[in-house]
Amino acid sequence: MSDFTGADLTGQSGRCFVVTGANAGIGFAIAHALAAQDARVVLACRNEDRARAAMARIVADHPAADLDFLPLDQGDLASVRAAAALAAKEPRIDALINNAGVMVPPLSFTRDGFEMQFGVNHLGTFALTALMLPLLEQTATTYGEARVVVTASIAHKKGRIAFDNLDGSQGYARMPFYQQSKLANLLFATELDRRLRAAASRVKAIACHPGVAQSELTRHIPLRRMFTPLLGMVLNTAEEGAWPALQAACDPALSGGEYVGSRGIFEARGPSGPAFRSIAARDPELAKRLWDVSVDMTGIDPGLSPAPGQPPA
């Protein structure tokens, strides 16, 4: 697998991509890049006005862009269900790019009562993916493959899953809960691909991370405005941060189960390629336990059996 940049993205005519959180930052850069390659891009966002404004910006650069808006709030399982039902009306979906997320907000909760970071970043992604799998399977059967892209983070390296404190009732710290949610993303992507392979599915699950990129995700970080000009000189731009997701969604060299991300110093910036997983992220028992807990919490079951030989939860 060679390093991947935006220059390696080839024509995507006839293909359809759903990109969550596509109205700004990395999500917008992903949508813009795909539209430039003639893909149909569905922008799945909470705010319709902001999504429409993002679509107008893309059309200004690419007048023939094929775009649509999908209302989606990953902090509300009812919204996730409704979004999946609307997405199912698409004739095909070649890739679901799970990009939306929140980072280090004060302790707060989703509409369903989950701690915000775990609820939006992991449970919302888990639920949306599970509900969209039937159309992805149909696309894969008809056209040869489809993909699920899950956005993790280098922050997962310090993450641990505190199953006894997922709601923060026994103490909450912003960054550890973010790290937990990003470890959950990586565990989910890996477990999903294992189960898809066991089911002989042609849907591939691939994880990615954007390095450390400028995006609205950092809006809750104290002193962000003060340091943004300095960070802009040393970290990924949103366009560069989009490269790993674009690789995960489109690189024909990937066979499923990979984890790709920025390969520069400390994995903070640069072209996309194979990324480092922590020991916890490689633990199949932990991944299966998280899967089962996620089914229980969301009430949504992807309907995929564990891969043979996996340990019990």
- Closest to 271 in 3D by CA, of 193, 184, 208, 183: 208
- Closest to 23 in 3D by CA, of 41, 10, 5: 41
The Cα–Cα gap between 40 and 60 comes to 16
Q: How many CB atoms lie within 10 A of CB 214?
A: 20
Max Cα distance, the chain (Å): 53
Q: How many CB atoms lie within 10 A of CB 64?
A: 7
The Cα–Cα gap between 13 and 36 comes to 10
Query: Which is the catalytic residue, given 143, 172, 178, 259?
Result: 178
Lookup: tokens for 231? 């960070």
Does residue 178 have an active-site annotation? yes
The Cα–Cα gap between 40 and 67 comes to 6
Q: Do residues 281 and 183 lie in contact, with contact meaning Cβ atoms separated by under 8 Å?
A: yes
What is the bridge-based pairing of β-strands 272-274 and 259-262?
antiparallel
End-to-end CA distance of the chain: 33
Q: How many CB atoms lie within 10 A of CB 245?
A: 32
Q: Do residues 95 and 18 lie in contact, with contact meaning Cβ atoms separated by under 8 Å?
A: yes
Q: What positions carry a catalytic annotation?
A: 178
